[in-house]
Amino acid sequence: MIEEANVAIWRHSKENEKQSGMGTTVVVGAVGWEWLVVAHVGDSRIYRLRAGCLEQLSRDHSFIQEVIDQGFFASREDAKRYGIGENILTRALGSAAAVKIASAVVELMTGDVFLFCTDGLTGMVPDEWMQQILMSIEENSVESAADALLRIANERGGNDNITLALLQVGQRVV
């Protein structure tokens, strides 16, 4: 499905001069009984909150992430101080006829919360704030957590499109 979307975007950009160079990112998941398959391209992300700990499960396909991974900088903040931009993607849907998709299988545990989101959210809301909001799901609903994340991102500037989906793993009934 991701490959098909990539080809469709790539062809459209080749056939329509005004859309030349267009692209997008993607993050998706498919839920099984005890597992979640995730896939992504670009800097859209998936996080998992488990036992109060927020973990980014995806790795950005961006220039800033590559220079960090290669050891040029110790952190994202160091790279940004040096002038490395966050929005330079190394992979995106539509940028070439074929795209390499990152994927993984993740074990599900009761109580896990998964956040699928675009950089419009992660660029505006610090991880610590996301963690606090996701931890509040016990007292509130998944919908209210999603609303809170969107509201904060918009209040902090909302300078990019903000898309998110939340998945909470409940008790399995046999």
pLDDT tens string 68-107:
999 999 998 899 999 998 889 999 999 999 999 999 999 9
Region 16-21 average pLDDT? 86
Q: What's the rounded mean pLDDT across residues 9-29?
A: 91
What range does the domain containing 12 cover?
2-168
Whether 147 maps to a domain, the answer reads yes
pLDDT at 140 over 80: no
Asked if residue 173 belongs to a domain, the reply is no
pLDDT score, position 171: 84
* Residue 174 covered by a domain: no
State residue 87's pLDDT score: 83
- What is the model's pLDDT at position 145? 94
Tell me the average pLDDT across 49-75.
Answer: 95
| AA identity, residue 160 | D
**What pLDDT is recorded for position 172?**
79
Does residue 26 belong to any structural domain of this protein? yes
Q: What does the alpha-carbon distance between residue 164 and residue 9 come to, in Å, rounded to a whole number?
A: 21
Distance (Å) of CA 78 to CA 1, 67, 144: 37, 11, 34
Looking at the 3D structure of the chain, how many domains does it have? Answer: 1
Q: How far is CA 42 from CA 27, 58, 65, 80, 170, in A?
A: 8, 10, 11, 18, 29
**According to the per-residue pLDDT averaged within each range, which of 20-24, 45-49, 79-83 is highest?**
45-49
CA nearest to 88, candidates 56, 124, 64: 64
β-strand partners of 167: 114
- The predicted pLDDT at position 158 comes to 83
What per-residue confidence (pLDDT) applies to 17? 86
pLDDT value for 16:
87
Give the CATH number, domain containing residue 92: 3.60.40.10
116-120: average pLDDT: 95
